């Protein structure tokens, strides 16, 4: 909203939705709403343009987790991603060329990776799938999730994390090795401070890397890193809705990767992603959980007890894959709707009340 100081000509007309002003006389709905209560709520359906500005309250509608079948009964699936209208799953117990693709996350077709390796991480960004193996120099790219082309990482190390931001793919190993690439094809060796890395995410203009300690690292360029102190988010990190959520022994949130607040969760997250107005995490059991903001969590369940190692969102659904035997994949349909919203309070002054243009 614009600053009230520029709108003190009472009776001003032609304001845009979301602009606000002080008024000496009452302005009525639906054109204007008073900014005088934290408890009054309004229907999104009545004020859709204003609701889009003020972040409406997201209300869960339904949660359904369904077991799915992936190719290869002995395959350990460690990564899943969505892009260009297709789902991709990768993995390998020891060494494998087996991958899979699906148009809907339900029916999967076996695909072939260009190199036999333990494929560990996959992501989609900038129009391309990028997969990396561990420990290995093996990497691969694909624009359609079906045909893969071999690429080479700068060193044979335990690559564990991959993220894209600010025009750059960044890969981290468990130790001091890192790499960057503008396209997922050509990689440049980088170094990071000595630690055991577990996860990487990009958001709000910064990369944030988690470790198996109470230290995280931030970087604005994916090359130079600064040590920060955080709770023990030793399983990984994700970003969504303007907030980082680190998870593991502890779960914590941050908007900048520097200042962290510990949160309470129903179980220990193993993998987490944001989509469809919600964070969803999986675990190494039947437990899962959902949250609209990374702060308040609701316990959910998965179709079987398994090491649900990776989760992704796309095409209005979540897909998770398992790194252990038994059920290898599941789809999660988590429908949410934004039904109501509340407005910020602007204190009255000089006998006037603050109003926002609502329609």
* pLDDT tens per residue, range 70-110: 997 778 999 999 999 999 999 877 788 999 999 999 999 99
Helix or strand holding residue 48 (H, E): helix 48-54
- How much is the pLDDT for 51? 80
Instruction: Give dist(CA 355, CA 79) in Å, integer.
Output: 49
Mention every residue, 6+ apart, whose C-beta is less than 8 A from residue 167. 126, 182
Q: Please check whether residue 355 is in contact with residue 1, taking contact to mean a CB–CB distance below 8 angstroms.
A: no
Q: Please check whether residue 320 is in contact with residue 281, taking contact to mean a CB–CB distance below 8 angstroms.
A: no
User: Among candidates 266, 302, 298, 258, which has minimal Cα distance to 279?
Assistant: 298
pTM for the model stands at 0.79
Say whether 358 sits in a helix, a strand or coil: coil
* Predicted confidence (pLDDT) at residue 61 exceeds the cutoff of 80: no
- Distances in Å between the Cα of 145 and the Cα atoms of 89, 130, 170, 232, 269 are 9, 10, 20, 34, 27
- Distances in Å between the Cα of 208 and the Cα atoms of 22, 58, 163, 311 are 41, 27, 10, 19
- How much is the pLDDT for 56? 61
Helix or strand holding residue 333 (H, E): strand 329-342
Q: Kindly state the average pLDDT of the residues 109-136.
A: 96
Instruction: Give dist(CA 81, CA 142) in Å, integer.
Output: 12
Higher pLDDT, 338 or 180: 180
Say whether 54 sits in a helix, a strand or coil: helix
Instruction: Give dist(CA 30, CA 179) in Å, integer.
Output: 54
- Beta bridge partner(s), residue 45: none
Which letter, b or e, does each residue of 4-43 get, where b requires 16 or more Cβ atoms within 10 Å of its Cβ?
beebeeeeeeebebebbbbbeeebeeeebbbbeeeeeebe
Sheet bearing 261-263, strands edge to edge: 236-240, 243-247, 251-254, 261-263
Q: Which domains does the chain have, with CATH numbers?
A: 4-40+343-357 (no CATH), 60-339 (2.130.10.10)
For the stretch 207-241, pLDDT in tens is: 999 999 999 999 999 999 999 999 999 999 999 98
């Amino acid at each position: 909203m614009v600053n009230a100081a520029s709108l003190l000509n009472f009776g001003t007309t032609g304001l845009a939705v979301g602009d606000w002003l002080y008024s000496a006389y009452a302005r009525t709905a639906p054109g204007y709403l008073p900014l005088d209560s934290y408890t009054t709520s309004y229907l999104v359906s009545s004020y859709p343009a204003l609701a889009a500005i003020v972040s409406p309250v997201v209300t869960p509608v339904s949660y359904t987790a369904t077991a799915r079948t992936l190719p290869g009964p002995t395959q350990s699936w460690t990564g899943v991603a969505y892009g260009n209208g297709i789902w991709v799953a990768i993995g390998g117990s020891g060494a494998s060329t087996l991958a899979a693709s699906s148009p809907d996350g339900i029916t999967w077709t076996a695909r072939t990776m260009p190199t036999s390796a333990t494929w560990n991480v996959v992501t989609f960004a900038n129009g391309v799938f990028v997969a990396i193996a561990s420990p290995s120099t093996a990497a691969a790219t694909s624009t359609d999730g079906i045909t893969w082309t071999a690429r080479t990482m700068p060193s044979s190390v335990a690559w564990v994390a991959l993220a894209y931001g600010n025009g750059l793919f960044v890969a981290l190993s468990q130790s001091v090795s890192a790499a960057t690439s503008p396209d997922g094809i050509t990689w440049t060796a980088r170094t990071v401070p000595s630690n055991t890395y577990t996860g990487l995410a990009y958001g709000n203009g910064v990369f944030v890397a988690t470790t198996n300690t109470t230290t995280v690292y931030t970087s604005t360029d994916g090359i130079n890193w600064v040590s920060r102190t955080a709770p023990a988010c030793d399983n990984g990190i994700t970003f969504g809705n303007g907030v980082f959520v680190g998870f593991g022994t502890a779960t914590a949130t941050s908007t900048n990767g520097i200042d962290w607040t510990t949160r309470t969760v129903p179980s220990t997250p193993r993998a987490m992603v944001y989509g469809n107005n919600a964070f969803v995490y999986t675990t190494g059991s039947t437990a899962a959980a959902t949250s609209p903001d990374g702060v308040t969590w609701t316990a959910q369940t998965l179709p079987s007890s398994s090491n649900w190692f990776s989760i992704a969102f796309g095409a209005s659904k979540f897909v998770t894959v398992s790194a252990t035997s038994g059920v290898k994949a599941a789809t999660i349909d988590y429908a949410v709707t934004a039904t109501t919203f509340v407005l910020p309070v602007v204190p009255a002054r000089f006998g006037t009340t603050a109003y926002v243009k609502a329609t």
